[in-house]
């Protein structure tokens, strides 16, 4: 039997969510002023910073029909006018959520309202709004900070029960990879300590008193932490206004920098032109039908693109050109100027968020892993959480492949495990983690194809599976039918 989920629209980042929060009307709305934050200001604001107690139980990727052992942890959240803001990674695959409000005797239960796995942000609400005390402050946002601006992170890191304050400065603002989503977006680096438990807490500017971001991750380097800045938070909240999370737009292209003058001259660029060359365009990406391979993209949203793939940013700074895409909404249009075969063209593009990679960019959180089992062979499609240092090269080579490119692939399907029985005798680890290319002669472009090919062939003598490493797996259909029930009971396969 085949198990869910095959419909990509069922991803949690597209889940329809509930109605507006009653929470907003019950909070007093303390607005951070323009004056520098005093200790008294932060003490008052800390009343709106809550400690989250999280119970999580995710799916077991080795046995995708089962769940892992329950895990428990703590995170931080804070009250904004839309609800309680925290990190998505704090509330992913949760089975029970409680929060502790300063001054309240008992923990209260909360539920998820909206989750953006791409942005690592989530919005929560109290299950019973009457649990919220009156006159708690809601925290309001300022602007993107300046380099070397002094900041204060507030939260509940492990090692104590009381709220904690740590100070530092902004050391970098750039497009960086988010550890949780593995997608590049705007991020701020600071030397203010961000420890486990701080995740989801607010970061304040010591100069303006405004909240300027959400603490999210640390680094292996000493004294480096990161927070999600206000433009990304605003993108999340705007996305949520229509009661569904559509995600973060992406161009769906691979680009080449053009820092070499001979390369620019070869492409027909004039000395006053700069930009990047389009290498590949994803079938399902925003740029499909707009850009063509070998186009030179000169401007984005009216801003010149530099030859290193960056755009001017603030006072004589630079930032990756995707800044103008990632901070927009799905459905927005954006203008480009391109050089194509010697002609300068003005193009408009409607931004999409649909996944366009064979191995998805963001792990498929909050959903059971899809699988198909026959004769003790478990078939899976690869997603980022399947990848580790031991992943075979034969799988890694597909990391940069867009859907529709390599043999028309939509998903990378492998035999993820073999549960021993007479029907699969002799098939060992050499057959695991190799791409499945054909089943009963039919090309496999997605996991559903395996199920369709097997089910359509049940009247034949053999089920024949071909792998990319040229290995051949043949299952006797009569043995499959005789052993399947016993095999599933033996290994508790559901």
Catalytic center residues: 89, 120, 199
- Cβ atoms of 110 and 122 closer than 8 Å: no
> What are the b/e assignments for 397-427, b being 16+ CB within 10 Å?
ebeebbbbbeeebbbbbbbbbbbebebbeeb
- Cβ atoms of 216 and 155 closer than 8 Å: no
- Cβ atoms of 31 and 79 closer than 8 Å: no
Structure tokens at 338: 């391109």
Helices (H) and strands (E) in the chain, counts: 9, 27
* Nearest residue to 411 (alpha-carbon basis) of 435, 387, 381, 451: 381
SS (H, E, C) 115-155: EECCCCEEEEEECCHHHCCCCCCCCCECCCCCCCCEEEEEE
Greatest CA span in the chain, whole angstroms? 79
Q: In the 8-state DSSP scheme, what is residue 36?
A: P
Distance between CA atoms of 136 and 27, rounded to whole angstroms? 6
- Cβ atoms of 217 and 199 closer than 8 Å: yes
Alpha carbon distance, N-terminus to C-terminus of the chain: 9
Cβ-Cβ contacts under 8 Å for 471 (sequence gap 6 or more): 430, 431, 434
Angle at 127 between CA 125 and CA 128, to 5 degrees: 110
Please count the other Cβ atoms lying within 10 Å of the Cβ belonging to residue 130. 9
Distance between CA atoms of 306 and 180, rounded to whole angstroms? 29
Sheet holding 371-374, edge to edge: 371-374, 377-381, 413-418
Tokens 């960019």 — which residue?
361
- Cβ atoms of 135 and 191 closer than 8 Å: no
Distance between CA atoms of 450 and 443, rounded to whole angstroms? 9
Q: How long is the chain?
A: 494
Structure tokens at 177: 């990879």
Structure tokens at 51: 């400690």
How many CA atoms lie less than 13 Å away from 64 in the CB half-sphere?
A: 25
> What are the b/e assignments for 355-387, b being 16+ CB within 10 Å?
bbbbbbbbbbbbebbbbbbbbbbbbbbbbeebe
Q: Phi then psi for 212, rounded to 5 degrees? A: -120, 5
């Amino acid at each position: 039997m085949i198990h869910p989920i095959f419909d990509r629209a069922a991803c949690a980042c597209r889940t329809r969510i509930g109605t507006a929060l009653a929470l907003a009307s019950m909070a007093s709305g303390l607005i951070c002023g323009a004056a520098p934050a005093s200790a008294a200001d932060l003490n008052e604001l800390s009343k709106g910073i809550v400690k989250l107690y999280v119970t999580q139980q995710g799916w077991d990727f080795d046995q995708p029909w089962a769940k892992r052992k329950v895990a428990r942890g703590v995170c931080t959240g804070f009250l904004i006018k839309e609800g309680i803001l925290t990190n998505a990674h704090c509330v992913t695959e949760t089975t029970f959520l409680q929060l502790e409000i300063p001054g309240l005797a008992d923990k209260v239960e909360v539920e998820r309202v909206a989750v953006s796995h791409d942005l690592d942000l989530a919005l929560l609400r109290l299950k019973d709004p009457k649990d919220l005390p009156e006159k708690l402050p809601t925290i309001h946002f300022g602007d993107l900070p300046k380099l070397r601006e002094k900041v204060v992170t507030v939260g509940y890191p492990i090692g104590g029960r009381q709220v904690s304050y740590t100070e530092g400065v902004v050391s970098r603002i750039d497009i960086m990879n988010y550890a949780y989503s593995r997608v590049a977006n705007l991020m701020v680096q600071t030397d203010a300590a961000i420890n486990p438990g701080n995740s989801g807490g607010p970061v304040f500017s010591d100069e303006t008193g405004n909240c300027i971001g959400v603490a999210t991750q640390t680094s292996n380097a000493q004294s480096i932490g990161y927070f999600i800045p206000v433009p990304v938070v605003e993108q999340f909240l705007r996305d949520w206004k229509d009661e569904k999370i559509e995600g973060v737009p992406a161009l769906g292209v691979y680009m080449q920098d053009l820092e070499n003058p001979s390369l620019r001259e070869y492409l027909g660029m004039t000395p006053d032109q700069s930009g990047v060359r389009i290498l590949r365009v994803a079938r399902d990406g925003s740029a499909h039908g707009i850009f063509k391979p070998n186009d030179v993209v000169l401007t984005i949203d009216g801003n010149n693109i530099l030859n290193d793939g960056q755009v001017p940013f603030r006072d004589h700074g630079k930032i990756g050109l995707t800044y103008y895409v990632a901070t927009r909404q799905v459905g927005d249009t954006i203008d480009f100027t391109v050089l194509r075969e010697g002609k300068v063209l003005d193009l408009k593009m409607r931004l999409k968020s649909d996944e366009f990679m064979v191995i998805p960019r963001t792990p498929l959180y909050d959903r059971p892993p899809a699988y198909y089992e026959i004769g003790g062979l478990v078939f899976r499609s690869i997603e980022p959480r399947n990848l580790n240092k031991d992943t075979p090269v034969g799988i890694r080579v597909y990391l940069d492949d867009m859907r529709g490119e390599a043999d028309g692939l939509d998903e990378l399907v492998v035999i993820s495990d073999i549960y021993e029985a007479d029907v699969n005798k002799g098939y060992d680890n050499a057959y695991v983690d190799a791409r499945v290319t054909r089943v009963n002669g039919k090309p496999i472009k997605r996991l559903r194809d395996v199920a369709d090919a097997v089910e359509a062939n049940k009247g034949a003598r053999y089920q024949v599976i071909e792998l990319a490493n040229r290995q051949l797996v043949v299952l006797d259909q009569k043995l499959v039918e005789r052993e399947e029930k016993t095999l599933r009971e033996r290994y508790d396969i559901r």
